[in-house]
Amino acid sequence: MTAKLRPTLVLLLLAVAMLPAASAAAQSTEIERDYWPTDGWRTASPASQGMDAALLDEADRQVRATLPDLSALLVVRGGRLVFERYYNGQDADEPINVRSITKSVTGALVGIALADGDLENLDQTIGELIPDRILPDADPLTPTITLRHLLTMTSGWGWDIHSDYATIIASDDWVDLTLSLPVAYQPGTYYAYNTGGSHLLSVILEEATGQDPADYAAERLFAPLGIKPGDWQRSPQGETVGGFGLELTPRDMAKFGYLYLNHGEWDGEQIVPADYVQAATTYQSAGDSTGLASYGYQWWVTVTYAAGYDAYFALGYGGQFIYVVPALDLVVVAAVARRVPPEELRSPRPLIENLIVPAVINP
């Protein structure tokens, strides 16, 4: 979610980040990898990967001075881990609740299910996919909401983005809550950040694949990448939560970003379809102040503030980022272990865009 930024910086970020023409994957070039970090990241000096070590050291200094809650900051360039710092007692092998970065993982599972044929296409509707979950008094437009609408957060349900998380966790049944909402806008026409919609994607995945999404992810997504996730939160009904609650280590967060940087391919295997990755990291809807960016399929899509490169990021409450700049072959991870009170939020995004991205001296 959003953190406290200077008002002028917010306006500049918003003006640049929400440009609809951004297509983050479009600047990416095909790179032949000499290894894959399935069994662990290889490390290298920043200079050997065309990065300015002094700017990375300044980023470390800025973390200590201005981001007191940050637990980890990692930089991967050219497939090498060139910068890795932990703070506040965080251990490299200790999983962190990545909060709404979970949404991007759930979105990846949708892509895999499409490739498997368990889902037919993104225009399938809730009425077709989970008809038994729709309440008798649901809005007449609710059954017409599609997978695409859920992925792009354009379902049209009336929803207060400012109380998104609180509304969900206060409910006894997250599916019933979401499906009971009035449809305030024609589906597909209006963006509103809605964790209930992301949770529905998990429910739909279980119905379509016949597997618990956590098990499906472990088998089809995490195992090929060498990721051993921590816990994954459950709804009151015992469903794998689609919108938050997954635990990953910072190094594994970087692996997930690296998978998308490489168009969904990992060590010769197409884990997530390349065309789906392209669409997921390309402008699909307007986005809002939650991420100060436009939106793809459960990923935020932007242009870097300082250098003007297309980029995309997975975002979680409190300062969780998996930030990918394809043209620079760059993945940045920021992670925060504790749940920070709203009044104490500080975003690492300016540090990523103003120090780490410009640290690439050999684009």
38 domain residue, yes or no = yes
Q: Which domain holds residue 182?
A: 95-247
| Total number of domains in the chain | 2
Same domain flag for 77 and 11: yes
Which CA distances in Å does 123 have to 145, 280, 311, 319, 329? 9, 15, 26, 33, 33
C-alpha 5/C-alpha 28 separation (Å) is 30
The token duo for 14 is 């918003």
Same domain flag for 67 and 133: no
2 domain residue, yes or no = no
Same domain flag for 175 and 231: yes
Same domain flag for 221 and 259: no
8 A C-beta contact, residue 220 and residue 183: no
310 domain residue, yes or no = yes
Same domain flag for 223 and 111: yes
| pLDDT string in tens for the chain (363-residue length) | 333 334 434 444 444 444 454 444 444 457 999 999 999 999 999 999 999 999 999 999 999 999 999 999 999 999 999 999 999 999 999 999 999 999 999 999 999 999 999 999 999 999 999 999 999 999 999 999 999 999 999 999 999 898 999 999 999 999 999 999 999 999 999 999 999 999 999 999 999 999 999 999 999 999 999 999 999 999 999 999 999 999 999 999 999 999 999 999 999 999 999 999 999 999 999 999 999 999 999 999 999 987 799 999 999 999 999 999 999 999 999 999 998 988 989 999 999 999 999 999 988
Same domain flag for 236 and 256: no
Same domain flag for 325 and 352: yes
Helix 101-116 / helix 250-261 crossing angle, nearest 10 deg? 50
1 domain residue, yes or no = no
C-alpha 193/C-alpha 195 separation (Å) is 7
Same domain flag for 230 and 118: yes
**If phi over 0 gives left and psi between -120 and 50 gives alpha, with beta otherwise, what is residue 44?**
beta
Same domain flag for 50 and 156: no
What is the β-pairing status of strands 265-266 and 96-97?
unpaired
Which CA distances in Å does 347 have to 255, 317, 359? 22, 10, 19
Same domain flag for 208 and 121: yes
Same domain flag for 139 and 227: yes
Among 301, 307, 303, 305, CA closest to 360 = 307
C-alpha 2/C-alpha 324 separation (Å) is 18
C-alpha triplet 187, 169, 209: angle, nearest 5°:
60
Same domain flag for 83 and 219: no
271 domain residue, yes or no = no
The rounded radius of gyration (Å) of the Cα atoms in the chain is: 19
C-alpha 225/C-alpha 252 separation (Å) is 8
